[in-house]
Chain A
Amino acid sequence: MIHLLFVDDEPAILEGLENRLRRMRKRWSMRFVESGVAALAAIEQQAPDVVVTDMRMPGMDGAQLLAEVRQRVPGSVRILLSGYSDPEQLVRAATRADAILAKPCDLAELQSTIERCLHVLDSVSDPEIREIVGRVDTLPYLPAVCTALEEELAHDEPSGPRVAAILEDDVYFSARTLQVANAFSHGNVGSVGDAVDLLGVQTLRVMALSVGLFESVAPRVQLDGFSLQQLEQRGILAARIAERLVSEPHRNAAFSAALMHDLGRLVLAAHAPERYMRARDLCLSEGIAFHEAERRLTAVTHGHVGGLLLARWGLPSEVVEAVTHHHSPSRARHDAFEILGAVHVATWLAGWVEHEQLGETLDPDVPLPALDLAYIEAMGFSERIPAWKSLALENARTPVVA
């Protein structure tokens, strides 16, 4: 039985939903409450699997309620169902909801959205990871990128391409921008450039200035073997390589996925440092790569963590898949070398170049992940490895972080 909680200040809406969802009642246990406060009380009684809330309500509004739900039941699905379209409110809601639905909304859409969101959660078996990911409100970012963004947005007429280029210098900013763009468009936005075009610079201003999305106090991470600068740098290097490994129309998505391939590592370092260090200790004692240590501990890697976060944030499935399986593409059922293949090879190459050439790498004491040779062979690309290496070296010569 799936537990759903519906929140709306209009009793007629709740009655209508209850009537319409009558045929679901064998599979869904549904409760209907008329305010945010009543919703929190209902959550105390029984944790719901799904919360569906209206936006504008007297007292606590939908976005505030979703922030509370994020804290109290991080493993639940959060959906906003609203007839309101104020951009500032939508941005606030978009960063807290798994999906935004507009009233009037038909049952099929509501049902498929709920099931899709539940399916995303089910894809990760570890409940602790589901909670860690569900609770993410903010992540570490590079202050220099934040400053550059603020400066560009303060111009009378900021340039969309410049804003996109700045956002692409940071993993968290890129992921957030893609989240809001996907929430606004119910769509398939895989590149930051498209996201900026779709949202428009005004909405980005709202995100940056009114909502303060890019200025919220990010947790400072101070862990042995973790460097935000190095993580961002590897992401950017991998992104540049990945977009050269595939042809259109996959280049932008490959770039984004490679850029954000270590998002899960960022989540763990910032929000589950003990878990991160447990895995790292195992790396040092056993001499194995980070994701292998994670696999030995709980079978869930930081690829899954990043993939789950991006899936909840509504990113296109090919990006999610590439991030999830970037260590071992052969684990995904895929028969073409597309985004996933490019991200796998590019992240491996980025690590290799850093190690061999730049001498600066994310965590020098931990062995790098290996290339998935079985996969490369199955794709018939074994002979390309030398060419890939020279491509990586070429990209490494240009500095990646401003």
Chain B
Amino acid sequence: MSEEVLQRRLDRARAKVKILEGMIEEKTRALYLSNEELADANRYLTLLYDVMPGAVLVISADGVVERVNNVALSLLGHAAEQVVGQPATRLSSELAELSDDQPSKFECEFNCVDGGAVPVLVSWAPIRAGESTEFVVVALDLRERQALEVELRHAQKLESVGQLAAGVAHEINTPMQFIGDNVYFLQEAFEDLVRVHGLLVRVHESSGAGTLDEALRVEASEAIEEADVPFLMERAPRAFERTLEGVERVSSIVSAMKAFSHPQTEKTVADLNELVKTTLTVARNEYKYVADVDMDLGEVPMVSCHAGDLQQVILNLVVNAAHAIQSTLDDSRTKGSIGVRTEKVADQAVLTVSDDGSGIPEAVQPRIFEPFFTTKDVGKGTGQGLAISYAIVTEKHGGSLTFDTEVGRGTTFTVRLPLGTSDVQAAPAVASKTGVGAP
């Protein structure tokens, strides 16, 4: 091997080393940059993890909580060691439902350290971690939203009670007027009869003595004439009846009003028919000038429900029916009719409110349950009634609210409430709860 050859090899080797050095330098720089990027991403994710206003939990395939963010800890009131490493089902039994399928969301409640429960909206997704699968769960606190919903419902109820107040006053004043008139009449009638009676007793005594006092006899017959005794005899029994009827009416309105405005936060067992009756009594002034109500109340088992809320639904449906009829009245048609029916169909309690009013135009139909949607004039409605009724029936009672309408013929609203399971949980409202078994 000549020196020359060796020299060339050495040169090539050097050149190679130089190239390699360059390559190493380049790779090192790239590595550095990508490390930087990774660190940025990591910082970003860590920040996001703690800044986002939702609780983040990472759950292993076997259902153990592996990591949580600070929001989760403050939401649950736990220290990290009380949550991490523990089964996720301790927080909510529904977290057992997570599976490999596609991600979804649902509403449930998380158990807190103080024994309370926080309603949350849970979104989750599976994530591959090496061999196994983990689940990332993000839970949003629903307390504020639910409080606002309750407030809105309450506000709408107050609004309707406020509107009812003038009508209720009128409903009470009417019997008060005729009670007063009749009692006044009966008092006068009694006074007149006492006077007549007194004179007749004297006539009787004097005739018993054998000497009929002519002047006394004339006075007595004048008193009888003056008192118009046949009129009194004819009218007095009816006046008593009317008075009692009036008292009955006032007390039924007052007790219906009491039952109507009674606030209830918990579900109780209630008689749907009774709720219908009290609501119609309170709202009578809202419909009686435009419609006759035909009540057909079937045998319905007791329903576990928020009674006050259901009354609000019935009120909204009946007032809407009256408004739908009002717009169709004219000289030839001075009154429409509202039908209120209850019945038990399979395992449901069914309430229908139907009217022969204007019907709902097709263009409007898809929107009627939207909040603040209204076709009424300003001041006649805020567009809350049906939206809130829908929420009450579906979300709070797990039932359904549907309608059937024909323009020019009328509308029927149907409320279906589940029976039997007396402890019906509020069904989740989120429609996208697919792939998760219903509770």
Interface contact A104-B185, CB-CB below 8 Å:
no
Interface contact B290-A16, CB-CB below 8 Å:
no
B177 CB contacts on chain A under 8 angstroms = 13, 16, 83, 103-105
Indicate whether A22 sits within 8 Å of B231 (C-beta atoms), given known contacts A12-B245, A58-B334. Answer: yes
Indicate whether A85 sits within 8 Å of B289 (C-beta atoms), given known contacts A12-B245, A104-B180, A105-B177. Answer: no
B228 CB contacts on chain A under 8 angstroms = 22
B180 CB contacts on chain A under 8 angstroms = 16, 20, 104, 106
A105 CB contacts on chain B under 8 angstroms = 177
Interface contact A15-B169, CB-CB below 8 Å:
no
| 10 pairs of residues in contact across A and B, judged by CB atoms under 8 Å | A12-B175, A12-B242, A13-B181, A15-B238, A15-B242, A16-B181, A20-B182, A58-B290, A59-B334, A105-B177
Interface residues of A in 1-52 (CB under 8 A from B): 10, 12-13, 15-17, 19-20, 22-23
Please list the 9 inter-chain residue pairs (A to B) with the smallest Cβ-Cβ separation, ordered nearest first. A16-B181, A83-B173, A16-B178, A19-B185, A59-B334, A20-B181, A104-B177, A103-B177, A104-B176
Number of A residues with CB within 8 Å of any CB on chain B: 24
Interface contact A84-B178, CB-CB below 8 Å:
no
Interface residues of B in 225-255 (CB under 8 A from A): 228, 231, 235, 238-239, 242, 245-246
The residue among B170, B178, B180, B188 with the most chain A CB atoms within 10 A of its own CB is: B178
Indicate whether A56 sits within 8 Å of B188 (C-beta atoms), given known contacts A12-B245, A22-B228, A103-B176. Answer: no
| Bound Cα distance A85, B166 (Å) | 7
How many A-B residue pairs lie within 8 Å, measured between CB atoms? 78
Report if B153 contacts A (CB, 8 A): no
Question: What distance in Å separates the Cβ of A85 from its nearest Cβ neighbour in chain B?
Answer: 6
B403 CB contacts on chain A under 8 angstroms = none
Number of B residues with CB within 8 Å of any CB on chain A: 30
Report if A300 contacts B (CB, 8 A): no
| Bound Cα distance A104, B184 (Å) | 13
The listed residue (A19, A23, A58) touching B182 by CB distance below 8 A is A19
Indicate whether A85 sits within 8 Å of B169 (C-beta atoms), given known contacts A12-B246, A22-B228. Answer: yes
Interface residues of B (CB under 8 A from A): 166, 169-170, 173-182, 184-185, 188, 228, 231, 235, 238-239, 242, 245-246, 288-290, 331, 334-335
Question: What distance in Å separates the Cβ of A26 from its nearest Cβ neighbour in chain B?
Answer: 10
Question: What distance in Å separates the Cβ of B166 from its nearest Cβ neighbour in chain A?
Answer: 6
Interface residues of A in 78-98 (CB under 8 A from B): 83-86
| Bound Cα distance A10, B176 (Å) | 13
B181 CB contacts on chain A under 8 angstroms = 13, 16-17, 19-20, 107
B246 CB contacts on chain A under 8 angstroms = 12
Q: What 1/0 mask marks residues of chain A from 238 to 278 whose CB sits below 8 Å from any chain B CB?
A: 00000000000000000000000000000000000000000
Question: What distance in Å separates the Cβ of A211 from its nearest Cβ neighbour in chain B?
Answer: 15
| SS of A interface (majority) | loop
| Bound Cα distance A17, B180 (Å) | 10
The listed residue (A13, A22, A58, A104) touching B188 by CB distance below 8 A is A22
| Bound Cα distance A107, B185 (Å) | 11
Name the residue of chain B whose CB is nearest to the CB of A107: B184
Interface contact A84-B170, CB-CB below 8 Å:
yes
B174 CB contacts on chain A under 8 angstroms = 10, 12-13, 83, 103
Name the residue of chain A whose CB is nearest to the CB of B181: A16
Interface contact A16-B182, CB-CB below 8 Å:
yes
A57 CB contacts on chain B under 8 angstroms = 289
Indicate whether A15 sits within 8 Å of B166 (C-beta atoms), given known contacts A22-B185, A23-B188, A104-B173. Answer: no
| Bound Cα distance A106, B185 (Å) | 12
B289 CB contacts on chain A under 8 angstroms = 56-58
Interface contact B290-A13, CB-CB below 8 Å:
no
| Bound Cα distance A69, B175 (Å) | 27
Question: What distance in Å separates the Cβ of A148 from its nearest Cβ neighbour in chain B?
Answer: 25
Indicate whether A83 sits within 8 Å of B231 (C-beta atoms), given known contacts A16-B181, A19-B239. Answer: no
B182 CB contacts on chain A under 8 angstroms = 15-16, 19-20
Name the residue of chain B whose CB is nearest to the CB of A35: B334
19 new A-B contacts at CB < 8 Å, known A16-B185, A104-B177 = A12-B174, A12-B178, A12-B246, A13-B177, A13-B181, A15-B242, A16-B178, A16-B180, A17-B181, A19-B184, A19-B235, A20-B180, A20-B185, A22-B185, A59-B335, A85-B169, A104-B176, A104-B180, A106-B180
Question: What distance in Å separates the Cβ of B356 from its nearest Cβ neighbour in chain A?
Answer: 15
Question: What distance in Å separates the Cβ of B25 from its nearest Cβ neighbour in chain A?
Answer: 75
A106 CB contacts on chain B under 8 angstroms = 180
A59 CB contacts on chain B under 8 angstroms = 331, 334-335
Question: What distance in Å separates the Cβ of B244 from its nearest Cβ neighbour in chain A?
Answer: 11
Question: What distance in Å separates the Cβ of B165 from its nearest Cβ neighbour in chain A?
Answer: 10
| Bound Cα distance A107, B178 (Å) | 12
| Bound Cα distance A57, B181 (Å) | 20
| Bound Cα distance A359, B288 (Å) | 63
Name the residue of chain B whose CB is nearest to the CB of A82: B170
| Bound Cα distance A57, B289 (Å) | 6
A86 CB contacts on chain B under 8 angstroms = 166
B178 CB contacts on chain A under 8 angstroms = 10, 12-13, 15-17
| Bound Cα distance A19, B187 (Å) | 11
Question: What distance in Å separates the Cβ of B179 from its nearest Cβ neighbour in chain A?
Answer: 8
| Bound Cα distance A10, B179 (Å) | 13
The residue among B238, B242, B245 with the most chain A CB atoms within 10 A of its own CB is: B242
A102 CB contacts on chain B under 8 angstroms = 173
| Bound Cα distance A58, B289 (Å) | 5
B245 CB contacts on chain A under 8 angstroms = 12
| Bound Cα distance A363, B342 (Å) | 75
| Bound Cα distance A107, B188 (Å) | 13
Interface contact B235-A83, CB-CB below 8 Å:
no
Interface residues of A in 94-130 (CB under 8 A from B): 102-107
| Bound Cα distance A10, B173 (Å) | 12
| Bound Cα distance A105, B238 (Å) | 21
B235 CB contacts on chain A under 8 angstroms = 19
| Bound Cα distance A13, B185 (Å) | 13
Interface contact B335-A58, CB-CB below 8 Å:
yes
Question: What distance in Å separates the Cβ of A34 from its nearest Cβ neighbour in chain B?
Answer: 13
Question: What distance in Å separates the Cβ of B321 from its nearest Cβ neighbour in chain A?
Answer: 16
A83 CB contacts on chain B under 8 angstroms = 169-170, 173-174, 177
Question: What distance in Å separates the Cβ of B79 from its nearest Cβ neighbour in chain A?
Answer: 56
Name the residue of chain B whose CB is nearest to the CB of A37: B334
Name the residue of chain B whose CB is nearest to the CB of A105: B177
Question: What distance in Å separates the Cβ of B257 from its nearest Cβ neighbour in chain A?
Answer: 16
Interface contact A56-B170, CB-CB below 8 Å:
yes
Name the residue of chain B whose CB is nearest to the CB of A81: B177
| Bound Cα distance A32, B96 (Å) | 75
Q: What 1/0 mask marks residues of chain A from 49 to 86 whose CB sits below 8 Å from any chain B CB?
A: 00000001111000000000000000000000001111
| Bound Cα distance A102, B166 (Å) | 13
| Bound Cα distance A22, B234 (Å) | 13
A13 CB contacts on chain B under 8 angstroms = 174, 177-178, 181
A103 CB contacts on chain B under 8 angstroms = 173-174, 176-177
